[in-house]
Each structure stands twice: as structure tokens, then as C-alpha cells.
Amino acid sequence: MGRMRRLGWLVLAAAAGSGLPGQNASPPERVDFVRDVKPVLEQSCYSCHGPKLQMGGLRLDAKESAAKAIHPGKPDESSLYQRIAGMGDQPRMPMGGKPLDAAQTALIKRWIEQGAEWPDHASAKVEVVQEHWAFRPPQRPPIPKTRNKTWAKNPIDQFILARLEQEGLSPSPPADKVTLLRRLSLDLTGLPPTIEEVDAFLRDRSKNSMEKQIDRLLASPHYGERWGRHWLDAARYADSDGFEKDKQRWVWFYRDWVVNALNKDLPYDRFVIEQVAGDLLPNPTQDQLVATGFLRNSMINEEGGIDPEQFRMEAMFDRMDAIGKSILGLTIQCAQCHNHKYDPLTQEEYYRLFAFLNDSHEANIAVYTPAEHQKRAEIFRAIADIEAGLKHRMPDWAERMAKWEDQVRNDQPDWTIVNATAEDISTGGQKYLPMEDGSLLAQGYAPTKHRVQLIVKTDPRKITAVRLELLNDPNLPLGGPGRSIKGTGALTEFEVATAPADAPEKTTKHKIIRATADISLPEAPLEPMFHDKSEEQKKGLRVTGPIEYAIDGKDTTAWGIDAGPVLRNQPRKAVFVLEKPIELTKDTLLYVYLSQKHGGWNSDDNQNNNLGRIRLSVTDAPDPVADPLPANVRQIITSIPREKRTPEQMQAVFSYWRTTVPQWAEANEKIAALWKQHPEGSSQLVLQRREKPRQTHVLMRGDFLKPGKAVEPGVPAFLHPLPPGEPLNRLTFAKWLVARNSPTTARAIVNRVWQAYFGTGLVETSEDLGRQSEKPSHPELLDWLAVEFMDSGWSLKKLHRLIVTSATYQQTSRVTPELYQRDPYNRLLARGPRFRVEAEIVRDIALAASGLLNPKIGGPSVYPPAPEFLFQPPASYGPKIWNEEHGPDRYRRAIYTFRYRSVPYPMLQTFDAPNGDMSCVRRVRSNTPLQALTTLNEPLFFEAAKALGAIALKNGGMRDEDRITYAFRRCLARKPNAEELAELTAFLNKQRPRGEEAAWTALARVLLNLDETISKE
């Protein structure tokens, strides 16, 4: 092939060459580098092989560097020519750009043939191009010497001090103990210290009193909440899908996993591996599956008109962005559409990284709390005991079961699976995606009421009955087989018709006389989430029940499959027998109508009750009935010889068979009753590896409709290599992300931790350590911290301890005008940090100071007070659930506030909390009038003021001064000075005529609104 191609090029080159000036003259005109060649290189090559970037270390504007690509006189041996001509197996250059035209290619060939003359003056001066600092793995730098030998408490201080000394500055004195304890409490737990904690600390005269406080705070379960919130920003955590529908989703298990992982001090490398590939670890625990929710925090678009694949791709891009910013500290999304302009990341490399992630289902699994796990274990043990008892009392059970198997093995007629397509308009906007096994998977928008018309074209045949299978799919809630949030669905009506292929609207209906199914439940009213506000609903007519309900002609009754936890998520089947067989010819279309009208009133919310994955089959056998055997049992007994079965397979057959044994009726009922006690659990979005990963392609301009070259998983050349010999899967990728030789991973996380403490990272652009990043203020310190962090087993708690025990951290934050002018952003750290705390902490301080705080950790997200209209149209696209809490959940920490992406909780939004649309590793810190209105007037802040006033009256002592001091300390930890006390006393006295309670509320409100209250000093 290579030869053919080369020959082709020669011919082309010759043909095109004739158009060049002077081409007709013989011998060919001499090619001039400056006049002829350079413009071509400039236009096509320099953007990647020029002054800005040197992909593969090649610079084509500099003679010395270019020499390795040019073999004068021998174009075919010059990689420059080989690559632009597309010779050999290497991708043609310019990569991802427009190929050189034939004339340009011929020109370069001729130039090389003629000796590739390149005048020195036309060559860029090659300075040794320094590799960008962040692309070299960090090395532990020597600790600098300082003139001041007494200030430093640990190596951090020596780095900081050395720089200060260089700048002619000196550090500030330490902050006083009270200020420091408040700073530590806010930093490590996000809560202010209590008065008792302050007093205990003041009383403690021991040398290591500070260390004791740090230990206490690091061990507090609130540590995980405070630092978990940072990671949740990076993980773009939210409790809803985003986009137009923005439906609720259940992902709080992931949120709690983050909090717990930090509390346990799960090493950071492990923390990352579990989130990126927890499902691929050997025998993954529920926690490790939940951790993969990290990648699933992407938004989901279920607008009516969408192509689900388009938005799966959007989600994939979002995952790449999240991994880039949060783990690698690099912005990689530019390379989605083209080679990265500044960092040496090609578009192809981007899609090779992408390929690692392109291997999974968008899965949703059932998850259980520890208490629920225990309950499950009890149930399973009880069932196992009963089953063991049955076997014990019937010693020949195995022979009997074998006999039964022989009886039923061949008792089913032949069914032919037929491919169906859904008629566009009838889907109500739901997408029925064809699957390889002939089934259709419902995705995208989920109307709560529709009647889909399935069109089947099949070979001529006689049909006596149609079978409908409801199948599981990892992409359905809890694996399906339905699309309701519990993975169930209801079939309102099943109808069959035919029409001539040339007149598809001329339908003939075919009556169904009998229906059977492998599950028949008693009539049951619809659950509240499926209520539709209709008259029928009010009268209680909308019900589910046995399969006959699907052929009774009524829109109020449906075949239901909700057999309770776990059992409701089994595959099901139903068989519909026609009154008269249909003789299908090649000119007949078979129509099957699946009416699904048992959803609720709002199609924009989680109220659908649709079938999730369906498959149709037909038979010509007389009067068939639905196979009572579960599909997996049928499969085992027909295709796996008894002696080759695993214990699980034997158990599956036994568990079904026992239900057919008449004398075991009592035991069967007991087991059924046990299943009814099974906990409901919750659900969680996770990754689940597909059997076959998808083929990844480079997408032209990032457009999923324009797939280019197919690519295999791989990592960018400018970063560290993959571990040799490991399989190219997501787990290897996860391990690569946190490999010891990763140049950016450890730097990125230590930099962000630093940013949280000091307001600005050692590299200000904490999301991007690439070439466009800001220069680090203390490069050696950054590297030292990164290496120290890895050497300490990637322990975040050790990193925190290191920082907060430093003299740097413990300085006072007071600033003189001189110092402020010298260093307004405190990059040199000649003083301690002082800035407004994050949104969540603003709320938490008010709750804690007022005594309202409910410190409960974890659990479903909650609804503190919010203006109701925000969740209703026209403020919100659709009506949203916001059941304001009136019990203790009203006062939970802000990390637990329910987060709708399209309607962010106003208080948190006003204080700059990101809404989870994309990964965020650096928040804005604004200071606006809307913030003032919020802390002054928002209902929960006002409740806090009342509570703080009341508690000051009750517990603050007898004198005004004591009570004011008490309230003041609950907010600020320190005591008021005389001037402050005077101001507050005057204010209180002025408000006294309003009544004692009102006056104290007013006073507390002033305290809660102070800048200092919501600042870390």
C-alpha cells in the first residue's frame, strides 16, 4: 500500500507541479527556502512546531531542531516529507488540520531533493526551550536557609520566610489564641468554636495546647463536611439533572461517601482511584461503586427533542473536564475540538484519554445504609435457613428437581424475536433505541402518558400470539425493567393491528382473547408519584393489577409489575393470544400498540411509569402461555448441564423450583413475607463497565455526528507514561492519574488545599497548572509540599496538620497600610489570611451561633426555607418539589441543602456557591448588596437572630454586659472591647421600648450581620 501511495503522490506532484512558475524550464527552478518553503511551513506547521509549541520536541522554524526531520537530498527518508505526504502508517500532518495541497507537497519534496538549503538568518534562534515546570514531576527541593533562625516552626515557614527576607519583609506576630482557635475551627470544620471550647483552650497552659486543638478538630466528623464540600465543587455535585427538566436525582450516597472518605483520611490516591474506577476493583464494595458517582455527576438532558447520544457525549466531555481540573489540574477541554493551543495536548490525545472513560453504562443501582444492609443480611440468612430446612427434610430433593427440570425443559413453543421501530409521533418524545438483541430501550424524555405504535416488518408467517418481554438494562433506574424511579412500569393496554405496507394508515385491529404473564399481582392503587389529578384518580379508579388489565380496553387499569423491593426489578414477560391467527404477507405491516398511561400529571418530573426495555416475539403455536420460569432459570436448565452449574446457578433453579412444590406452600409464603420486609434502599448513579467498550473516535470539532479516526485508549506524551504491561482500561487510567511520577496530580491538590487556607493558591490558577497558568508564588514550596504529601502516604489530614501548625498560618491577619500596598493579595504571606468564609459556612455560622444547628451528618438532602415561587413557573421551567422542613432538618448544615441546578438555593448562590453545572475548583468571593439583604432579611437568618437573642437572655447571665458578651462570643469567639460594648449597649437600650425579646433579637441580628462574623480572621 505504501508503494502505491507513494507512486500516487509522485504522479500528483508532477501534475500539480506543472502549475508552478518556471516549472516548464529545465532543469527545475531552484526552490528558495525563504520565498517558497517558509510560507508553507508557517501556514501549516508552526502552530504546533514553532515558537509556541514544539510537539514531539520538533521546531520547524529553527534549523537545528528541524534537522532531525530533514535528510538533505532524500525526501523519502525525511520524516518532514513522509509525514506531510501521508506516507507509511503514521497519521498525516498537519494532524487534525488541512493537508498540504499537491503543489505544496511537491515543493517541499523538491527543496529537500535540492539539498534543503536553509540560510542561517532565516532560522529562529533556538534557546533551549525550557520544559514547562509543571510537566516535570516534582522533586523534593532543599529547604532554604534563613537569617531569622527562630521564627520557623516547620519547613513551610522556611520557604515563606526565605522569600520574605529576599523581599525585605518580615513575618507578622502570631494571632492571639482566641482568633487562632476560631480560624482553626472554621478552617478544619467550617463551624465557629463554642464558648466552652474557647475557654478550655484558654485554660490549657500546656505546651502542646494548640496541637491538642488541631487533633480534636481533625478528628471531628465535621471535618469531612467542611473539606468534602470543596471536593463536591470539583465533582460538580448537585441533586438534580440540570437542563430544562432538571429533575431530582438521588446521589447523596456519593456526597456522604466523600464526607466519610475524608473523615477516614482515605489516602488521596485511593480516593481518586475509587471515584474513577471503583467498579473495576476486585469484588467492589457498595462504597466503591458509589464512589464512581463522581463521574456521573454530569448533567442529563431529557428535553423532548434530544438525541440521547448527543447529551451522553456532552456528559463525557464534562467528565473529561472534571478529571482535568479536579485531578490533573489541567484544562484539557480545548482539545475536544482542536489541538490545545498552549499545552502540548493534541486532539487525538484528548480522545485517547476519552477512550478510557468510554467504556461504561450510565447505570443506576440500589444502595443501602448500614442499617438497611444489616436488615438485608438478616432476611437473606432467614431465607437461606428456610431453604436449607426444606432440603434437609426432603433428602431426595435433587432427584425431584431434576425430574421437574426434564418435564419443563421443552414445554415452551418457539418464539421468533421481531425487530420493531417506533412511529415518531406516537412516542410522545420518548426515544426507543434499537438494541442488538432486538429489543428497544426507552431513553430521553419520559412522557407520563403515551401510546406508542411499534411497527414490525417480518417475513411472511402465521401469528397466533405476540409476546412482550420487559428486560433489564443497566441504563434504567435500578436496572429496570421500567423507567419509573423504582425501575418499574405499567402497561395500560396492549393492542395489535395490521395494515398494508402501501397504505400504512389503513389499519385492521385484531382482537386479543387471552393474556398471560409470569407475574400477576392483585389490584393496587397507584402510588402518589403517579397521581394525575384526573377525576378517575380522585375516584380511585386508576389501578394496576393482573395482566388481564392490559386487554380490558380501559385506560384506568394496567398490568403492574411492582412486586416490592428487588423483585420489582426482575425481567417479566406477557403473552397475548389473538382471537384469529394473522397471516402476514410480505406486504403487511404488523402494529403493536403499547399504551402507557399510568404516569403522573407532570411529565417534566419523575412521574413516568413507562416500560423501559421491551422486546416483541411472535409464534404460530396454538394458545401459548407466558413461561412462568424466570428467564435466567430457563436459560440455566436449557443450556447448562447440571454438572457444570455453579452453586449460584443451582441456587437460582432451586429458588424457583421450590415455589412449584405443593407441600412447601407454607415455607414459600414465609419466604415471600420475608421479601416484603426488604428495605427500599435508595438509588445512586454509578459507572458500570460495558461488556464491550465503545469504539472511540476523534470527533471533528467535537461534533458527535462527525467521527473521525478511531483511537485506542492512551495518555498524552507530555505527561508520565502508563505503567507497562497493564491492561488499557479505566482502572489503569485511574492508577495512572495518581501515579507517583504524575507531574501535576499532587501539585494540583496541595495547591487547592493551600488556596482554601490562604485565599489564593501558590499557583493562583488552581484549575490550570499548564503553560498559561500564573507563575507559582513559591515554586519550591509547592514542590516540597507535593512530595511531602506523597511521601506521607497521600494523607490529606497530615497535609492539613502541616499547614495549620506552621508559623505562616498562625500569623495575625492585621495589616499595615505599607504592607497592604506592598502585597494587597497577601501572596508573600507576611501576614495571616483574612477573608469572608464560603457560602455554606456563612449559613452554618448563623445556625451554630444561634444554637439552632442540627449537627446530624449525612442522609438525603433537605429543604430549608426558600421562597416558594422560585420552584413554580414562570420562575422555574416546571413545578419543582420543595417541601420546606419544619422539623430538625430545617437547621442542617448547608452542605445538606437540596441543590437544584436550574434553581440554585438563593442564599448559597448569592454567596458564590457554584451550582454544579461544571467542575469548579476555585470559587469567586464577591461582596454585594444582595448578600447584605440576605443576612439581614432572609427568614432563616432572622430565625437565627431570634434564637441567638433568646439564648443570650436565657444563658448569658444577668447583666446586659454579660449577655451582650455572651452573644458576641457565640458569633466571634472573642470578647467585645469597651468601644464595641458601648455601641452595642447603646443600640440595645434604644431598642428596649420594643420589648425585651425584640430588643435582643435586634441586637443578635446586628451581631450576625457583622463582617467579622462571616469572615475568617
Judged by CB under 8 A, the stretch of 53-61, 115-123, 730-738, 808-816 that binds other proteins is: 808-816
Residue 730 to residue 748: CA distance in whole angstroms: 21
**Strand, coil or helix: 537:** helix
Contact call for residue 816 and other proteins (CB under 8 A) = yes
The answer for residues whose C-beta is within 8 angstroms of residue 960's C-beta and 6 or more apart is: 985, 988
Min. distance of Cβ 965 from other proteins in angstroms?
Answer: 14
Indicate whether 938 belongs to the interface with other proteins (CB under 8 A). Answer: yes
For the CB of residue 662, give the shortest distance to other proteins in the complex, in Å: 54
x/- map, 63-102, other proteins, by CB under 8 A? ----------------------------------------
The x, y and z cell numbers of residue 130, run together, are 525550557
Total count of residues recorded for the chain: 1017
| Angle between helix 397-408 and helix 647-657 axes, rounded to 10 deg | 80
What track of x and - describes contact with other proteins for positions 821 through 860 (by CB under 8 A)? x-xxx--------xxx------------------------
CB nearer other proteins, residue 238 or residue 734: 238
Closest CA to 960 of 944, 976, 945: 976
Q: For other proteins, what does the binding mask look like between residues 386 and 425, x meaning CB under 8 A?
A: --------------------------------------xx
Q: Which is nearer to other proteins, 511 or 994 (CB)?
A: 994
Name residue, grid cell 454585594. Answer: 928
Whole-angstrom distance, CA of residue 22 vs CA of residue 483: 72
Q: 38, 71, 140, 341: which one contacts other proteins (CB under 8 A)?
A: 341
Q: 487 vs 716, which CB is nearer to other proteins?
A: 716
> Which of 768, 783, 838, 960 is the binder for other proteins (CB under 8 A)?
768
Site for other proteins in 188-227 (CB under 8 A): none
Smaller CB separation from other proteins, 298 or 475? 298
Among 23, 461, 991, 992, the residue binding other proteins under the rule CB under 8 A is 991
Is residue 326 involved in binding other proteins (CB under 8 A)? no
- Given 157, 279, 314, 495, the residue binding other proteins (CB under 8 A): 314
Name the burial class of residue 297, with classes exposed (0-12), middle (13-18) and buried (19+) by CB atoms within 10 angstroms of its CB: buried
**What burial class does residue 224 get, using C-beta atoms within 10 Å of its C-beta: 0-12 exposed, 13-18 middle, 19+ buried?**
buried
Choose between 617 and 876: whose C-beta lies nearer to other proteins.
876
Judged by CB under 8 A, which of 914, 948, 952, 965 binds other proteins? Answer: 914
Per-residue cell: 714: 492512551
295 contacts other proteins (rule: CB under 8 A) = no
Residue span binding other proteins (CB under 8 A) among the ranges 13-21, 250-258, 406-414, 902-910: 902-910
Q: For 312, list phi and psi in degrees, rounded to 5.
A: -65, -40
Distance of CA 323 to the CA centre of its chain: 10
Binds other proteins (CB under 8 A): choice among 10, 67, 524, 933: 933
Q: Using an 8 Å Cβ cutoff, are 811 and 174 in contact? A: yes
Binding string, 960-979, against other proteins, x = CB under 8 A? Answer: -----------------x-x
Footprint of other proteins on 531-560 (CB under 8 A) = none
Which residue among 285, 646, 937, 989 contacts other proteins (CB under 8 A)? 937
Cα separation, 945 vs 421, whole angstroms: 62
Q: Least distance in Å: CB of 327 to other proteins?
A: 15
Q: Is 565 in the site for other proteins (CB under 8 A)?
A: no
7 binds other proteins (CB under 8 A): no
We find the least distance from the C-beta atom of residue 303 to other proteins, in angstroms, to be 5
Q: How far is CA 768 from the centre of its chain?
A: 20
Candidate list 39, 930, 962, 996; residue touching other proteins; CB under 8 A: 930
Q: Measured between alpha carbons, how far is 87 from 980 in angstroms, rounded to an integer?
A: 81
Q: In the bound complex, what is the minimum distance in angstroms from residue 899's beta carbon to other proteins? A: 12
Tell me the C-alpha distance between 1010 and 346, whole Å: 51
Binding mask 615-654 for other proteins (x = CB under 8 A): ----------------------------------------
Which window, 20-28, 391-399, 648-656, 924-932, contacts other proteins (CB under 8 A)? 924-932
Site size toward other proteins, by CB under 8 A: 99
Among 32, 140, 170, 342, the residue binding other proteins under the rule CB under 8 A is 342
- Kindly report whether the peptide bond that precedes residue 481 is cis, defined as omega within 30 degrees of 0: yes
Closer residue to other proteins (CB): 218 or 920: 920
Q: What is the DSSP string of 906-940?
A: HHHHHTT---SSS--SS------HHHHHHHHH-HH
Least distance to other proteins from the beta carbon of 331, Å?
Answer: 4
Which listed range, 265-273, 553-561, 568-576, 986-994, lies at the site for other proteins (CB under 8 A)? Answer: 986-994
DSSP collapsed to 3 states, 940-1004: HHHHHHHHHHHHHHHHCCCCHHHHHHHHHHHHHCCCCCHHHHHHHHHHHHHHHHHCHHHHHHHHH
* CA triple 578-579-584, angle to 5 deg: 55
Segment contacting other proteins (CB under 8 A): 116-124, 681-689, 884-892, 985-993? 985-993
Q: Tell me which DSSP letter residue 525 carries.
A: E
Asked whether the bond before 94 is cis by omega within 30 degrees of 0, the reply is yes
Return the C-alpha cell found at 264: 477516614
Q: How far apart are CA 442 and CA 446, in angstroms?
A: 8
Q: Which of 814, 890, 975, 992 binds other proteins (CB under 8 A)?
A: 814
Q: What does the radius of gyration of the chain's CA atoms come to, in whole angstroms?
A: 35
793 binds other proteins (CB under 8 A): no
* Of positions 111, 243, 905, 966, contacts other proteins by CB under 8 A: 243
CA dihedral in degrees (842, 844, 846, 852; nearest 10)?
170
Residue (of 424, 465, 444) closest to 610 by Cα position? 444
Considering only residues 166, 208, 660, 926, which one is a binding residue for other proteins as defined by CB under 8 A?
926
**Nearer to other proteins (CB atom), residue 951 or residue 984:** 984
Query: What part of residues 708-727 is at the interface with other proteins (CB under 8 A)?
Result: none
CA angle 1004, 1005, 1008 (to 5 degrees): 85
> Which residue has 489503569 as its cell numbers?
732
CB 236 within 8 A of CB 297: yes
| Exposure b/e, 231-270, CB count within 10 A at least 16 = b | bbbbbbbbbbbbbbbbbbbbbbbbbbbbbbbbbebbbbbb
Toward other proteins, which CB reaches closer, 553 or 817?
Answer: 817
Q: Which is nearer to other proteins, 105 or 443 (CB)?
A: 443
Q: Does 929 bind other proteins (CB under 8 A)?
A: yes
Binding segment for other proteins (CB under 8 A), chosen from 49-57, 210-218, 403-411, 930-938, is 930-938
Residue of the chain from 359, 838, 912, 960 that contacts other proteins (CB under 8 A): 912
Which residues are CB-contacts of 982 (< 8 A; sequence separation ≥ 6)? none
* Greatest CA separation for the chain: 112
Among 156, 251, 367, 1002, binds other proteins (CB under 8 A): 1002
* Contact letters for other proteins, residues 861-900 (x by CB under 8 A): ------x-x---xxxxxx----------------------
Q: Residue 357 or residue 422: which is nearer to other proteins going by CB? A: 422
Cell numbers 424457583 correspond to 656
Question: Which of 532/767 has CB closer to other proteins?
Answer: 767
Within residues 419-458, the interface with other proteins by CB under 8 A covers 424-425, 429
